[in-house]
Amino acid sequence: MRSIPQDHFLALPRPDIHIGPPAGAPDTSTLAAHDFDVDTRSGFMPPDPPVPRLPEEWEAWEATLDDAVQSRLQLGDKQGLTEHDKQQAARWQARVRELPILPVTDLKRSEVLLRRAHHVLAWIMHFYVRTLPPTTQEIRIPPPITVPLLQVSSHLQLPPVLTYSDDVLYNWAFKNAVPSYESPVPALDNLRCLTSFTGTKDEEEFYLSSARIELQGVPALSLMRATMDEAFVGDDIATQRISTYLRHLADVIAELTKTLLSVREGCDPEVFYNEIRPWFRGADSDVGKKWIFEGLELDPELKEPTEVSGPSAGQSSLVHALDIFLGVDRYSHAPHVTGLEKTSAASSSSQASSKSESSEKTLQASQSASQSFLTRMQSYMPRHHRAFLRHLSSNPRPLRAFVESSSDPSLKDAYNDAVQALKNFRDAHVRIVAIYIVGPSKKGKRPAEELKGTGGTNSIMFVKSVRDQTAGAVLKAA
């Protein structure tokens, strides 16, 4: 496979994230691969460790998050919660409410600082929400968190809630220092997490397994680039090369599948379901409860958030890129693939008054869904990665159409091998959801709504639907 030319958009260098751009130059610290923040060495993961701490001006946020982590705050609905646990949570919550409303203007000069601010504030918010007593019906996010989190989120074009990028892409550091003479690109065996709710190895392994998938997927991006280049040539030699690239791509996806399943080696399903997963669930998973962001009146530009679903593997830009490149997105991203329970529109209007607010939100989503769940999850991705996906979607000679128009049967076989590998990856995802969510839920240690996934979806129904839709993308024999 040919190397990327030095002037190719995927090969543009990053300035030093600590020094910043030269005087008078725009901050392109996140614009590797031109406008897309995709690195040829680390893919959608940054090649340099994320900023581990904000400058002194925002130390109050960092100290508040440190306090939550070091105090080992417990879930407010944990069975057997002690009086000490309750008092400790109440003291910490009071500290959050008493925080000053810190300005974010100076953060806007640096994308990496904005990312860190989103990470810190979103983690504080989830700690705050999930340590509240289970009897709390209106979850009120205090102004010291609401105002800066919404301001930062607006600038980043992200929802004000934990996302996959907060938990995975920008939540790592080197486990061991990298010698100066070596490339600082993250290695699979040299990663640790910056932040966790429980401090358990299980939680760290859960996040790092996704990070490893991102890193192992880097060759797939080079294969995409090489394939698109050959598709523009379109002759017999190009077709043969594309067939080879697609077989390599199938092998890469097979490795991703192995890594996905390997999470079982370090993360116990019972620990995940009962102790880890409840922390990062978003508002859409709270049946009958409303999240109220207080302090919106303090900034006339702030608006009530409409997207507060929380993190999901469906927010991985790598997997979306594979879908789009292979032309599978027309199946996996179809509008009806929402993961929401189907409800009759005819009967819904007469029953709406008797439903809880959460049920109404789900009903409205299912009725007016013009986007699939996976398409909606793109709004939770870093905006540069969304730009990359749009760029990939606008390819004037899409791969699937090229394969369909070709008379070479080996090309179609190679394409189907890649699609089948992606289907196998989603088979593995179904298995993981069954092991980590469905199985533990049957033991009844947590409320039934814990089965709800990101965005209020039915977790197992959704992943099965996407898997089945992916299988439908295999090209039939002529």
Alpha-carbon gap, residue 216 to 164, rounded angstroms: 17
What are residue 459's phi and psi, to 5 degrees? -55, -50
The CA distances from residue 187 to 178, 211, 215, in Å, are 10, 10, 8
Taking alpha carbons only, the member of 243, 388, 397, 373 closest to residue 309 is 373
Work out the burial of residue 272: count CB atoms within 10 Å of its CB; fewer than 13 is exposed, 13-18 middle, 19 or more buried. Answer: buried
Answer for the pair 304, 446: CB distance below 8 angstroms, yes or no.
Answer: no
Alpha-carbon gap, residue 386 to 35, rounded angstroms: 10
State the 10-residue block means of pLDDT for the chain, 478 residues long: 46 39 38 69 93 97 98 95 97 98 95 97 98 92 98 97 97 88 81 97 97 96 94 94 98 98 96 95 86 96 94 96 96 83 39 39 43 91 94 92 96 98 97 94 72 76 93 88
Alpha-carbon gap, residue 318 to 195, rounded angstroms: 23
DSSP characters for 196-262? -SS--HHHHHHHHHHHHHHHHTHHHHHHHHHHHHHHHH-SHHHHHHHHHHHHHHHHHHHHHHHHHHG
Question: Backbone dihedral region of 456: left (phi > 0), alpha (psi from -120 to 50 degrees) or beta?
Answer: left
Answer for the pair 169, 213: CB distance below 8 angstroms, yes or no.
Answer: no
E-assigned strands of 120-171? 138-141
Output the 3-class SS for 306-341: CCCCCCCHHHCHHHHHHHHHHCCHHHHCCCCCCCCC
At residue 292, the 3 state secondary structure works out as: strand
- pLDDT attached to residue 348: 35
Number of Cβ within a 10 Å radius of residue 439: 13
Alpha-carbon gap, residue 99 to 42, rounded angstroms: 37
Answer for the pair 248, 219: CB distance below 8 angstroms, yes or no.
Answer: yes
Domains and CATH numbers, the chain: 9-21+28-213+267-314 (no CATH), 214-261+316-471 (1.20.58.480)
Alpha-carbon gap, residue 462 to 468, rounded angstroms: 10
Token digits of residue 442: 């049957």
- pLDDT attached to residue 27: 38
Beta bridge partners of 291: 139
Alpha-carbon gap, residue 440 to 443, rounded angstroms: 6
Token digits of residue 370: 């013009």
- 353-358-361 Cα angle (round to 5): 80
Strands 172-174 and 138-141: unpaired
Alpha-carbon gap, residue 417 to 381, rounded angstroms: 28
Answer for the pair 284, 132: CB distance below 8 angstroms, yes or no.
Answer: no
Taking alpha carbons only, the member of 454, 408, 28, 67 closest to residue 242 is 408
Taking alpha carbons only, the member of 203, 217, 204, 368 closest to residue 278 is 203
At residue 291, the 3 state secondary structure works out as: strand
Which secondary structure element, helix H or strand E, spans residue 193, and what is its range?
strand 191-193
What are residue 143's phi and psi, to 5 degrees? -55, -35
Alpha-carbon gap, residue 254 to 226, rounded angstroms: 20
Alpha-carbon gap, residue 410 to 399, rounded angstroms: 14
- pLDDT attached to residue 448: 58
Beta bridge partners of 70: none
Number of Cβ within a 10 Å radius of residue 164: 26
Sign of CA dihedral 164, 208, 52, 141: positive
Alpha-carbon gap, residue 357 to 339, rounded angstroms: 19
- pLDDT attached to residue 1: 43
Strands 290-293 and 138-141: parallel
Sign of CA dihedral 447, 452, 453, 455: negative
DSSP state letter for 400:
H
